[in-house]
Structures are given as C-alpha cells and as structure tokens.
C-alpha cells in the first residue's frame, strides 16, 4: 500500500534540483505522519535536505505530549524537527480555527528558505470540506476551485502531494507504519464548522454517494480551469484599459468599463481589487461600488467604505484608499536642516539649504518657519510661473488634486505668509535669487503622490 502511495506521491511533485529543500508541516496526526514518511523516502532518494516543523498552539492539554511524539517520529526518521510555540488571542472576534491556521502559516513563512518546497498533508476529503464551506459562504468560482496541488508560497512553493488521495487510503497506509499518530480531541467538537462536516455531514453524503469526494474534486478542478480563464480575460481587459489611459497608480478608469458587459466589468473590478490587496466584496457590495460611486452624478463626491478603506471617484477613475481624516489646525515649527515627522501618518518633511537649484529663498530673520495644513479663508496665492492669484481651493482643483488629499498637503509658511504648498507649487514671491532651500516630502502612502493623481 505504501509503495503504491509513494509512486503517486512522486508523480505529483515537480522535478527536484540538487539545491531543492523540503519542509513538512508536521502536526503529528495521521495525515502529516504519512506525509513525513513519504517525504523522507523522497528526500533520501534524491539526496535532498528535509526538515519538519511542528506548531504548538497551546490549545490542548496534550499539546506537550504531541511535541514529544513528533520528536520521537522525527528522530526515528532522522529528520530535523523545528518546534514553534504560539499564543492565540482569545475573544478578539476571530475564530480559534482561523487564528490557529494563520499562526501556522506565519511560522511556516518565517522558516521557508529561498526555493524551498513546503509540503502539507491536505487530501481529497479536505477538498470536499473546503467545497462545502465555500458553498456555505456563497463563494464564486475562485472559492469553489478549492486548494491547488501547487502554488507559490513565501520564498518557495507550497505543494499538496496527497490532494488526490482519500482519507481512507491514507488511513490504510498509515496503519502499516510503526510510528503511530496523535489524535486531536478538538476534532470531535462539532461546534467547529469543519468538524461538523467531517464528523456528521460528509459521512452521510459518502454513505449515499461513495464517490462524492472524488466527483467533488473533479468539479473543483473544473472551477479552477474557469477561474484561470476568467483571470486571463481580466488581464486582457485590464491591459486594454491601461493602454488607453495614462497610468495612475492604483486607479481604475471608469469609461472603458462602461463598454463591457456587467459580468465582464465585474470580472475586471475583482481583478483590480485583488491586485489592490482587498478581500473580495460580495456581489451586492460590488454593485453598490458601480452604482453609487462609479456612476454617481458628475458634481458628486461619492465614497463607499469597505474593510477599513474607502472607494472614491475622481477625474473619471476609481480609487481604493485608506480612510484618512484632514489634519486640522496645527502649526508645526520648522528650521532649515530639520527633518519633521508629520502627523496623521503623512511621512517626513525636510528643509535643506542649497547653493544651486534651490526651490525657495532663504527665510529672513523675522520669518519663523512652520508647516500647516490650512490657509485662512479668502487667502489668495500666486504660484510661480502663473499669472494672477487664486484661492487655494481653486488652485487645488486646477492642479487636479483629489478631494481626499485636500487638507492633507503640507503648507510651508514663512512667518504668516504661505511660501509653498509642498509637492505642488512655490509662491512667486518666495523664489530664490541665489542660495536658498529645498523642501522634500517623503509621503508614507502612495495615495499622497499628488503628481500621479492629476489628469494633466
């Protein structure tokens, strides 16, 4: 039995190179014990470095016994074992299952070497559980595709070489081994969704339809193919949209989306949000994004909050931004040569003396320098190189500054006079005639890059 499984195990793995290293996620349970045995045989056959990692979550009173068991198995197999102890934050609103999983993958990520393969013991029955949980959430094709045999992870690859094997097959093979395995008593707790499926629902499904796990895996593979196709279409549409629009970092032009069918438009929106690092919104929220933000009246300033960030529209483009308030009435003293940490995570601002290529003249003795984020109502400013003065609000509109940046731009004052709106313009009367100063603003977030926000 173990020989047959080893052949199938080898067929699922890429061709190893001499520098390939293996890391097995080892819980000490039946599945991961069998995985470690197969990995040890593979590593020996190909002269590869193999390690195992066990995460001690501290959730079970038997957790220390599990560590001892894992150490014993690894010693018998001559596999080095890493043990990581983590502490979960109970009562923070996140399920214990989710926290434990996140902690495991954080530990695995921290120990992954460049090009290393991480092997996990997910199998065919796990796929069925994943599918049923995805259906419970109302997931789309991406969620219904389930787990894939191979994917990039940290600095290497995450491989699931047991994914086409049933739990029954693995149990038969594990029973022939001398190592034994640990049983996590929490697996019997059906208050956890996955345990409910594993202990109660799936046995009934498989009793009625014995091939259920295998046929579900087939459906998931088809969903994975469809997801790949949707991704390719989204990439093509995205490229066409970008080719017809001056690149604005993180922004999505609206007009080209209006030419697409609703399904294709939503596909591009999901592609864009995924690349922005967003958790996928529901269909309802995606519809609201389009109707309430993208298609809002031309004179509106629409916004829609999601995941602690906000969707905004400006100059015919959609943006997904960190929600950030205006700074308000603050006066921050500054001297030439200083590096000033700006409030509200706006970054660093420095003012340096320069002999050549300065932006502003040197301040006079009676002109104390300061940084503020507002001007007095009615204040007229004249940017260098422009005829006539304008109010700041009008100037910000003319320079194409999005509404969410107004009130967050550092304004440099000489005494009580505005000398420059940093990153935008210098007032004409403060130009240097020789030696002067230059102002550098290192913004914390890309959302604050004014030059990329303007249409011009």
pLDDT tens track for 69-104 = 999 999 999 999 999 998 877 666 667 778 888 889
Residue 58 lies in a domain: yes
Which pLDDT score is estimated for 278? 82
Which pLDDT value is given to residue 421? 96
Task: Tell whether 160 is covered by a domain.
Answer: yes
Domain assignment of residue 227, yes or no: no
Q: Comparing C-alpha atoms, which of 58, 39, 48 is closest to residue 19?
A: 48
Is 233 part of any domain?
no
The pLDDT of residue 447: 52
* 28 appears as a binding residue in the annotation: yes
Which DSSP letter does residue 373 get? S
Among 297, 322, 347, identify where a domain stops.
322
For 310-354, what is the HEC assignment? EEEEECCEEEEEECCCCCCCCCEEECCCCEEECCCCCCEEEEEEE
Q: Kindly state whether residues 94 and 214 are assigned to the same domain.
A: yes
Please state, in angstroms and rounded to a whole number, the distance separating the CA atoms of residues 293 and 275.
19
CB contact set of 182 (below 8 Å; sequence gap of 6+): 27, 28, 29, 62, 65, 66, 69
Q: Could you give the C-alpha distances from 105 to 11, 119, 153, in angstroms and in order? A: 25, 12, 10
pLDDT of residue 19: 81
Which residues 6+ apart lie within 8 Å of 241 measured at CB? Answer: 252, 253, 256, 257, 268
| Nearest residue to 125 via CA among 152, 88, 156, 165 | 165
Q: Examine residue 456 and state whether it is found in any structural domain, yes or no.
A: no
Q: Do 16 and 158 have their domain in common?
A: yes
Predicted confidence at residue 249, as pLDDT, reads 63
Q: Is residue 239 situated within a structural domain?
A: no
CATH (domain of 257): 1.20.59.20
- Domain assignment present for residue 229? The answer is no
Q: How many domains does the chain have?
A: 3
Distance CA(403)–CA(183), nearest Å, equals 57
The whole-angstrom separation of Cα 311 and Cα 305 is: 6
Q: Of the residues 273, 288, 322, which one is the last residue of a structural domain?
A: 322
- Closest listed residue to residue 269, CA positions, set 298, 306, 297: 306
Residues 290, 167, single domain; the answer is no
Judge if 404 and 387 occupy the same domain.
Answer: yes
Among 159, 188, 222, the domain-final residue is 222
Residue 250 and residue 276 in contact, taking contact as beta carbons nearer than 8 Å: yes
What DSSP element (H or E) covers 81?
strand 81-85
Question: Could you tell me if 262 and 400 lie in one domain?
Answer: no
Q: What is the domain-level CATH number for residue 54?
A: 3.40.50.620
Tokens of 80: 């080095």
136 and 217 part of one domain: yes
Q: What share of the chain is helix, strand, coil (3-state, %, to 5)?
A: 40, 20, 40
For the sheet with 252-253, list strands across it: 252-253, 317-322, 309-314, 303-306
76 and 160 assigned to the same domain:
yes
Q: How many residues comprise the chain?
A: 456
Q: What is the mean pLDDT of the chain?
A: 89
The pLDDT tens digits along the chain (456 residues) read 688 899 999 999 999 887 889 999 999 999 999 999 999 999 999 999 999 999 998 888 888 999 999 999 999 999 999 999 988 776 666 677 788 888 899 999 999 999 999 999 999 999 999 999 999 988 889 899 999 999 999 989 999 999 999 999 999 999 999 999 998 888 888 888 889 999 999 999 999 999 999 999 999 999 999 999 999 999 999 988 877 665 566 788 999 999 999 999 999 999 998 888 888 888 899 999 999 999 998 888 898 988 778 899 998 899 988 877 778 889 999 999 999 999 988 899 999 999 888 999 999 999 999 999 999 988 999 999 998 999 999 999 899 888 888 889 999 999 999 999 998 999 999 999 889 999 999 876 555 544 343 333
User: Helices (DSSP H) in 112-211: which residue ranges?
Assistant: 124-137, 141-144, 167-174, 193-196, 202-208
Q: Is 415 labelled a binding residue? A: no
pLDDT of residue 276: 83
Q: Model's pTM, two decimal places?
A: 0.73
Which pLDDT belongs to residue 92?
Answer: 60
What is the predicted pLDDT for the residue at 67?
93
Q: Are residues 69 and 214 in the same domain?
A: yes
- On whether 32 is known to bind a ligand per the annotation, the reply is yes
Residues 45 and 192 placed together within one structural domain of the fold: yes
Host domain of residue 45? 1-222
Looking at the structure, do residues 318 and 349 belong to the same domain, yes or no?
Answer: no
> Is residue 77 located within the same domain as residue 127?
yes
Q: What phi, psi does 230 have (nearest 5°)?
A: -60, -35
- Residue 256 and residue 216 share a domain: no
> Considering the domain boundaries, does residue 83 fall inside one?
yes
And the tokens for 177? 């081994």
User: Is 31 annotated in some ligand binding site?
Assistant: yes
Known binding residue 29? Answer is yes
């Amino acid at each position: 039995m173990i020989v047959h499984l080893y052949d199938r195990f080898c067929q699922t793995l890429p061709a190893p190179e001499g520098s390939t290293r293996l890391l097995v996620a080892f819980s000490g349970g039946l599945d991961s014990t069998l995985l470690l045995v197969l990995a040890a045989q593979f590593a020996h056959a190909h002269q590869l470095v193999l390690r195992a990692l066990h995460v001690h979550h501290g959730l079970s009173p038997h957790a220390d016994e599990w560590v001892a068991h894992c150490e014993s198995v690894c010693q018998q197999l001559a596999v080095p074992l890493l043990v990581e102890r983590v502490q979960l934050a109970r009562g923070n609103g996140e399920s214990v299952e989710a926290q434990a999983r996140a902690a495991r993958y954080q530990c695995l990520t921290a120990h992954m070497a460049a090009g290393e393969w991480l092997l996990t013991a997910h199998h065919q029955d796990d796929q069925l559980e994943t599918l049923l949980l995805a259906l419970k959430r109302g997931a789309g094709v991406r969620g219904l595709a389930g787990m894939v045999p191979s994917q990039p992870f940290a600095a290497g690859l995450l491989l699931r070489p047991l994914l086409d094997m049933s739990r029954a097959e693995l149990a038969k093979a594990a029973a022939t081994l001398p190592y034994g395995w640990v049983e996590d008593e929490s697996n019997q707790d059906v208050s956890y969704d996955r345990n409910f499926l594993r202990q109660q629902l799936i046995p009934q499904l498989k009793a009625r339809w014995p091939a259920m796990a295998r046929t579900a895996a087939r459906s998931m593979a088809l969903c994975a193919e469809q997801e790949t196709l949707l991704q390719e279409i989204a990439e093509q549409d995205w490229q066409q949209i970008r080719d017809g629009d001056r690149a604005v970092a993180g922004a999505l032009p609206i007009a080209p989306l209006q030419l697409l069918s609703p399904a294709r438009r939503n596909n591009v929106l999901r592609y864009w949000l995924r690349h922005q690092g967003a958790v996928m919104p529901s269909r309802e929220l995606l519809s609201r994004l389009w109707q309430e933000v993208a298609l809002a009246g031309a004179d509106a300033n629409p916004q829609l909050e999601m995941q602690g960030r906000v969707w905004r529209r400006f100059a015919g483009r959609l943006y997904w931004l960190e929600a950030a308030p205006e700074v308000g009435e603050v006066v921050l003293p500054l001297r030439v040569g200083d590096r000033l940490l700006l409030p509200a995570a706006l970054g660093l601002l420095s003012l340096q003396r320069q002999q050549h290529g300065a932006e502003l003249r040197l301040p006079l003795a009676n002109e104390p320098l300061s940084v503020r984020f507002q001007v007095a109502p009615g204040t007229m400013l004249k940017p260098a190189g422009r005829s006539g003065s304008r109010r700041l609000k009008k100037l910000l509109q003319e320079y194409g500054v999005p509404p969410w940046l107004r009130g967050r731009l550092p304004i440099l004052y000489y005494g009580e006079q505005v000398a420059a709106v940093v990153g935008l313009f210098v007032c004409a009367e403060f130009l240097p005639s020789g030696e002067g100063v230059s102002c550098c603003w290192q913004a914390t977030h890309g959302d604050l890059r004014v030059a990329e926000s303007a249409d011009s």
